[in-house]
């Protein structure tokens, strides 16, 4: 299909499995291409690059060679500083390598068509998958979604039926694990990885999880 979004995969890891390739090949609005087709006229091209094998310097070089492509970086684990380096080099968006193949394809399509990355034909990326990729617990990812929506500590505590002190502990753990010092950096990180904020009408944004004891992560 000439109008299908072109997808160039760079540094595809051997452990990605066949499910992603199968999903990609059976999505009629996507078409895999080689690097020689990057600058050809026609449909939009999205480059799916895998970190850390494809580093920020490689992203910057690609951006210089093909300024019109959309660059989606898939990572196994990253903090806000690393994501910032990739963004400064020219990356347009980020996705967890452990995300479901269908969700990765949906992200590619959203990026190609300038749509919000948390909207599309599939549900929002699994918060537990995002949490795992960043080393967060499911509860910390849940708190991060509330913070992204502008909820105060007190409001988050009320929604989750926990104490304000517990929410403060989660926020401290979030800052330490993601190496961010400010709330706005946490919010930016959540948006960059496609972790959608909680909507006002959501009673429980995540499926029920175990309420294990949470401790501050040691230095």
Residues 73 and 50: their CA atoms lie apart, in Å, by 6
Residues 2 and 139: their CA atoms lie apart, in Å, by 44
Residue where a domain terminates, one of 112, 143, 175: 112
Three-state secondary structure call for residue 95: strand
CATH number at residue 44: 3.40.50.2300
Q: Is position 148 within any domain?
A: yes
Task: Pick from 98-102, 126-130, 138-142, 203-207 the range whose average pLDDT is largest.
Answer: 138-142
Q: How many residues does the chain have?
A: 219
Cis geometry, peptide bond prior to residue 52 (ω within 30 degrees of 0):
yes
Q: Is position 85 within any domain?
A: yes
Parent domain of 30: 5-112
Of residues 71 and 115, the one with the higher pLDDT is 71
Measured over the CA atoms of residue 122, residue 120, residue 111 and residue 187, the dihedral's sign is negative
Q: Is position 23 within any domain?
A: yes
Q: For residues 156 and 167, is the Cβ–Cβ distance under 8 A?
A: yes
Give the neighbor-by-neighbor strand order of the sheet with 30-32. 30-32, 5-10, 45-50, 70-75, 93-96
Query: Which range is least confidently modeled, 86-90, 131-135, 205-209?
Result: 205-209
**In angstroms, how far apart are the furthest CA atoms of the chain?**
56
Per-residue pLDDT band for 197 (boundaries 50, 70, 90) equals confident
**pLDDT at residue 11 above 70?**
yes
| pLDDT given for residue 208 in this prediction | 34
CA 40 to chain centre: 28
Domain count, the chain: 2
Residues 195 and 142: their CA atoms lie apart, in Å, by 10
Nearest Cα to Cα of residue 122 among 22, 23, 9: 23
Asked if residue 104 and residue 27 are part of one domain, the reply reads yes
107-149 pLDDT per residue, tens: 899 898 888 765 444 344 555 666 666 678 888 888 888 888 8
Residue 63 CA: distances (Å) to CA of 46, 91, 216: 12, 8, 39
CATH number at residue 150: 1.10.10.10
Asked if residue 29 and residue 84 are part of one domain, the reply reads yes
| pLDDT given for residue 130 in this prediction | 60
Of residues 118 and 105, the one with the higher pLDDT is 105
161-187 pLDDT per residue, tens: 999 999 999 999 888 887 777 787 777
Nearest Cα to Cα of residue 30 among 99, 121, 128: 121
**pLDDT at residue 80 above 50?**
yes
Q: Is position 119 within any domain?
A: no
22-66 pLDDT per residue, tens: 788 888 899 888 887 776 766 789 999 998 889 999 999 999 988
């Amino acid at each position: 299909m000439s109008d299908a979004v072109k997808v160039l995969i760079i540094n595809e890891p051997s452990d990605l499995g066949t499910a992603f390739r199968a999903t990609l090949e059976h999505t009629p609005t996507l078409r895999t291409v080689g690097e020689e087709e990057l600058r050809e006229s026609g449909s939009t091209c999205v480059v799916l690059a895998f970190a850390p094998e494809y580093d920020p310097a490689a992203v910057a070089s690609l951006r210089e060679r093909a300024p019109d492509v959309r660059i989606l970086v898939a990572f196994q684990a990253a903090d806000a500083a690393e994501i910032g380096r990739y963004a400064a080099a020219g990356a347009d968006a980020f996705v967890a390598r452990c995300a479901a193949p269908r969700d990765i394809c949906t992200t590619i399509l959203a990026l190609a068509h300038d749509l919000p990355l948390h909207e599309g034909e599939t549900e929002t990326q699994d918060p537990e998958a995002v949490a795992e990729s960043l080393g967060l617990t499911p509860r910390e990812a849940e708190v991060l979604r509330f913070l992204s929506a502008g909820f105060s500590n007190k409001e988050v505590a009320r929604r989750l039926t926990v104490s304000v002190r517990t929410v403060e502990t989660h926020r401290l753990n979030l800052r330490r694990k993601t190496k961010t010092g400010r709330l706005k950096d946490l919010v930016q990180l959540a948006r960059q990885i496609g972790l959608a904020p909680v909507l006002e009408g959501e009673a429980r944004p995540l499926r029920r999880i175990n309420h294990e004891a949470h401790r501050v992560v040691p230095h």
